[in-house]
Amino acid sequence: MLTILAAVCVFGVLVLAHELGHFITAKMTGMRVDEFAIGFGPKIISRKFGETVYSLRIIPLGGFNDIAGMNPEENTAGNRGYCQKSIPARLLVISAGSLMNFILPIFLFFGIFFFHGETVVGTEPIVGSVAAEKPAALAGIAKGDRIIAVDGKAVDTWKGLVENIKSHGNEPITVTYERNGAEDTAVITPYYDEKLQRSLIGITGKTVTKEHGFFDAAALSIEHTAKIMQGMLKELSRILGQPSDADLAGPIGVAQMAGQFAEQGLIPLVTFAAFLSLNLGIINLFPIPALDGGHVVALLVEGVRGKPMSQKTLAITQNIGVALLVLLMIFATKNDIVRIFTGN
């Protein structure tokens, strides 16, 4: 039940932000929006305010804005139809969904940093956690141990410990640590992590909570969001270069992860929602027909040609895009099912 509730909340917030981006900019540019919907399928509830119907539907895996004139042949809104607006106006409306998914994490991280504080690794060389089956764990290192020396060289800070281990490569090291007031030693052989490109022994530092004021939290949330996006784009380029290494998760997998983070508490769940929002924003800008990025490409082509693509061509490209997305969804769902039955 917790997994379902967490997934519905996370998906709901992300979809609401995305569709609000389209909705607000459509209204700003004078377009007529006939319906603003969260979810798909039969309506649970709907109310009409002004010219727009606002509805909540039964399947919480998306949403839509019914903007008049998306199909020029069916435009009933005159110069308020989407098709009658300038290319810059239409580009704004199409890209605003992803833009909102980039903005949402800034607010989520701000809430975390301002009200809860920032969780950072402390400066002291104290072990916060030990990865199972890694060299440190196999050598007997435990949570709470204070590392005081590596190969006889004193260690005063966590950063110094990391640099010391890194400098030894994969050579065995003698770690001196303190536990309950008593000193002991362990011989540990680091392993090389390809992703981080440095030697590790399988430990993380003890974390502390650092409080921030309003402006510090605001600046930090923007910086944190930018760093995560940079990391995502770097990982995306790696996956595109090596598609066989891609480990995609579908709706089932994402729902499971939402449940797991919810079990850890509100802060991990909000952080997960921020990551997922950035992911959704990036993916939606892929130049694939049926995604926002595909519409952006079509508008750019229209700008170069001086006239829109024919409805027949658009329909063909849209069908191809939908087919690709369905295949991708099937592949991702297959991965989800395999994980469920194998436990990986």
Positions marked catalytic = 19
DSSP 8-state code for residue 126: B
Continuous segment of H or E residues that includes residue 93: helix 87-111
316/311 Cα distance (integer angstroms):
9
Report DSSP state, residue 168: T
**Among 108, 106, 204, 67, which residue's Cα sits nearest to residue 147?**
204
Nearest Cα to Cα of residue 309 among 322, 321, 297: 297
Instruction: Give the C-alpha separation, 122 to 208, whole Å.
Output: 6
- Per DSSP, what are the bridge partners of residue 150? 153, 175
Tokens of 227: 């760093």
Q: Where are the alpha helices (DSSP H) in 112-213?
A: 135-138, 158-167
